[in-house]
Amino acid sequence: MSSRTAGIRLGHGVDPDWVRSVRVPDSSNVVRTWHVLDNHNSLPTAPVGTVLAVHGNPTSSYLWRHVMAELSTGERPWRVIAMDQLNMGWSERTGVQRRLGLRLDDLDRLTEALQIEGPVVTLGHDWGGCISLGWATRNRARLAGVAVLNTAVHQPPGSALPGLIAAARLPGVRRLVTATSPVFLQGTLAIAHPQLSAEVRAGYLDPYRGADRRTGIDEFVEDIPVSPEHPSWDALEGIVQELPKLADVPALMLWGPRDPVFTDLYLRDLRARLPHAQVHRFEKAGHMIAEDAPVATALRQWLEDAIEPGLQNFGQRTSVPGSGADTSVPGAQTSVAGSGAPAPEVSGVSEQRTSVPDAAAGERRPLWAALDERAGELGAALVEATGNGHERTASWRTTSWLALSNDVARVASGLLAFGVKPGDRVALLVPPGADLTVALYACARIGAVAVIADAGLGLPGLHRAIRGAAVRHVIAIDRGLAAARALRWPGRRISVGVPAGSAKARLLGVSVALEDLKNSSISELPAEPGPNDEAMVIFTSGSTGPAKGVVYTHRQLEGVRDALTNAYGLRGSDRFVAAFAPFALFGPALGVPSVVPDMDVTAPRTLTATALAQAARAVDATMVFASPAALANVLLTSVDLAAADREGLKHVRLLLSAGSPVPAPLLTSLQALLPAASLHTPYGMTEALLVTDVDLPELLATGPGNGVLVGKPLPGVEVTLSPLDHTGAAAAEETTSKPDVTGEILVRAAHVKNHYDQLWFTQRNTATADGWHRTGDVGHFDAEGRLWVEGRLVHVLATADGFVTPVGVEQRIETVPEVERAALVGIGPAGAQRLVAVLEADSPAGVATTDLADEVRQAAGVDLVAVLVIDGLKTDIRHNSKIDRTEVARWAEGRLAGSR
């Protein structure tokens, strides 16, 4: 029976109509009083189903208020029931410790009393995740799906208990910090990102004011089963053993990687137990993920995508292999059969786009096909500089096609003997050159998945990438190995340049050296990976948020190779300088000799004109691939070129510069260094390396416009636009190719990425049902069907008069003689933003002089509330040419508010 609850303090954001007091007999037949939040009476129409939300320790049902509010609206609302577990929140303090088994019984009795029928989706956090999964296995007939936030169902073998929990469980400490004082509770709230407001903190603290009300927190900590001797061990084992019953139930894992308790160790364990689950890691979120991230929005979208379409079949029965039971199937999802690895977190739309009939499988050329075709040749396949970057004349290391082929075959065999299996993820922290190429193609050949993360991400970004990618092995030079050791990255370690058995290798935890694997006996390799198997995870630059892992299948990487060949007429007689990291990997796939210049490829501005020219001379290069930042430094240092080096650049027929838009004046200046070269600037991104192309003559003939001209789509590539509304938001469904309509740029092609790794929410919002990838860039087509890029969607400014895109305005400002670079940013709330120009200029830092400000305003063509001068515009961490407008806007707002 139930009634309205009186005498409690409702937390901020809790609707009073949700509050119920429910009295239910427990397993000892003692009536207990539960505090429950239930939105059933406030729904606009009959609910689609019920979400059963279970909190952990030391929170309460207050954790789920955002979910309850989100799912209470719309044409297809969901009923949400969130209880305070007994001894917790505003529920009764029973005087009896509720161990895990008893908590499961308690939840069973509560749901029976509430007469909850299917379809039910469970939702749990912290130890509430384990309890909710236990309820799910007991109530399979009512179950439609399971969702968890940072949680665990077991301590993975060989791992230590999280430090914070271990400390809290120390004799004499536990009760002091959990019950006697509110340290444990306050510490949990303190690790929210960002910090919680005073009102929200009160919502969590109020039910636990007083030591007598915190006994449940203490008992919850004590009830963590860490060994078979613990009283709750058998109950936990029972949940684990029953999890296979959920193999055909849609599952969602939303994760905060900054959690010091439920770390990625537990996410990997859960993924192994529920390999079909969709996963999204909110990189900036931690343990309080329901406060840190848009969990409610993500949950609603998952319910719409994964649960609601299958509800018409709810209640049908089928057998789950190995479970020994019949269960209902509300929209089955399965793992990849025989892969031994978790199924990819890929939405149905992505799978639909990349699906290719099996009949076409015989027509493909594997990524290593050209390497096999040239395997008997003694000519150079790879040439790399071996200098220290300061020598006037570089020395070179040459690897023949024969040697490269043999090394790949031997390392592939060695990796298998070392324990690398098909589907295993292998982090490659090796500079471009022969060692990286050998490791990459050896992994590809045996079906291991190479994880490529640029050192330019910085150590924190690199740490997030490697930890998040669930790697099992690390192949790295000494700096990468040191990072792996210091940051405790998972996986066994293979050294490059550090002899196995040496003192340094022992210090770095090295198991074997790549050089030793090159001496392995060639053994029979496993069957070639299929075209739709994962091949590589490449991380984005992180210029608009945390770097994202972009997953490519073998077919898609082969598509990149073919697109590059077809777009630029590559021939076997070509030879290229690989000064741009993404293309440095494709030499053997193209069957084209390549040379890595004397530079740090992850730091583009380390490429000098001399280094470029000497690399070109080393192979008599016909092509150069380099980033705009690298080419800017080439131009800056070209005065140092010797006559022989200048002569070596005259044979280059093609220059490709990608990574960010390339200004026509830069290309014009470069033409003098490369007189025979056709200068092209393809537009692309990590998710789609080649989209459009434009050359220098077309740029010059067209002249300036609103944005950067990037040309027409390359063969096999489709581009369309999702128009922006007056607020600068992209239309959800509408697309257009009409000229002069600004919109988000959408791309579709065979070589577009498969999905984002463990970013289901991002993938869902960047992939359309008919296979388009939403790039996050904005632009327009001109009358000739050419694409112009106007900036990033996140940088579109929403003023009271409508939206403004930044790039065109910045280009106009940069025509002012004193201005070197400009950034257009907005201050104030969206919809009423005021525009500010921030300049690098030949002028003192601070507010621009009146004359300079007048010139800038006249050139800008938009209403500027202020013109500021800064010593140096902050750029993102990897592409020196990409301005971090978000950081610049923050600086401008502070500067105008009087801060220095």
Q: How much is the average pLDDT of 610-639?
A: 92
How far is it, in rounded angstroms, from Cα 224 to Cα 154?
10
Q: What is the pLDDT of residues 562-579, one digit of tens each?
A: 999 999 998 888 999 998
For 699-725, write each residue's pLDDT tens digit.
Answer: 999 999 999 999 999 999 999 999 999
* Cβ count within 10 A of residue 861: 12
Q: Is the pTM of this model over 0.85?
A: yes
Q: Which CATH number fits domain 401-529: 3.40.630.30, 3.30.70.260, 1.10.150.120, 3.40.50.980?
A: 3.40.50.980
Share of the chain above pLDDT 70, in %: 91
Q: What is the pLDDT of residues 59-73, one digit of tens each?
A: 999 999 999 999 999
- What is the per-residue pLDDT for 881? 52
Residue 491 has pLDDT above 80, yes or no: yes
User: How many H helices and E strands in the chain?
Assistant: 32, 39
Residues of the chain with CATH 3.40.50.1820: 2-157+229-328
Identify the residue with better confidence: 537 or 899: 537
User: What is the rounded average pLDDT of the residues 603-623?
Assistant: 92
Please give the pLDDT value at position 584. Answer: 76
pLDDT band, very low/low/confident/very high, at 456 (cuts 50, 70, 90): confident
Confidence category of residue 807, pLDDT binned at 50, 70, 90? very high
Q: pLDDT per residue over 752-798, tens digit each?
A: 999 999 999 999 999 998 899 999 999 999 999 999 999 999 999 99
Q: What's the pLDDT score for residue 561?
A: 94
Start-end of CATH 3.40.50.980 domains in the chain = 401-529
**Listed ranges 94-108, 720-734, 858-872; the one with the highest mean pLDDT:** 94-108
Q: Report d(CA 660, CA 882) in Å as an integer.
A: 7
Residue partners of 335: CB distance under 8 A and separation at least 6? 247, 275, 276, 342, 343
Q: Is pLDDT of 387 > 70? A: no
Q: Tens digit of pLDDT for each residue in 514-536?
A: 999 999 999 889 999 999 999 99
Q: What does the pLDDT read at residue 842?
A: 83
More confident site: 843 or 336: 843
Q: Is the pLDDT at 22 greater than 60, yes or no?
A: yes
Q: Could you tell me which residues come within 8 angstroms of residue 694 by beta carbon, excluding any fewer than 6 positions away? A: 680, 681, 683, 709, 710, 711, 712, 786
The answer to whether residues 510 and 498 touch, using CB atoms and an 8 Å cutoff, is yes
**pLDDT at residue 353 greater than cutoff 90:** no
Q: Predicted confidence band at 393 (pLDDT cuts at 50, 70, 90)?
A: low
- Range from 357-371, 508-522, 837-851 carrying the lowest mean pLDDT: 357-371
Average pLDDT, the chain: 89
What is the rounded distance in angstroms from the CA atom of residue 448 to the CA atom of residue 367?
A: 13
Give the model's pLDDT for residue 321: 32
Helix (H) or strand (E) holding 687: none
Count CB neighbours of 338 within 10 A: 8
Flag whether pLDDT at 143 surpasses 90. yes
pLDDT tier, 359 (very low <50, low <70, confident <90, very high otherwise): very low
The predicted pLDDT at position 884 comes to 81
Q: What is the pLDDT of residues 258-269, one digit of tens each?
A: 999 999 999 999
Its CATH architecture, for the domain 796-900, is 2-Layer Sandwich (3.30)
CATH of domain 2-157+229-328: 3.40.50.1820
Asked whether the predicted pLDDT for residue 453 surpasses 60, the reply is yes
pLDDT at 461: 87
Q: Is the pLDDT of residue 6 over 60?
A: no
Residue range(s) in the chain whose domain bears CATH number 3.30.300.30: 796-900
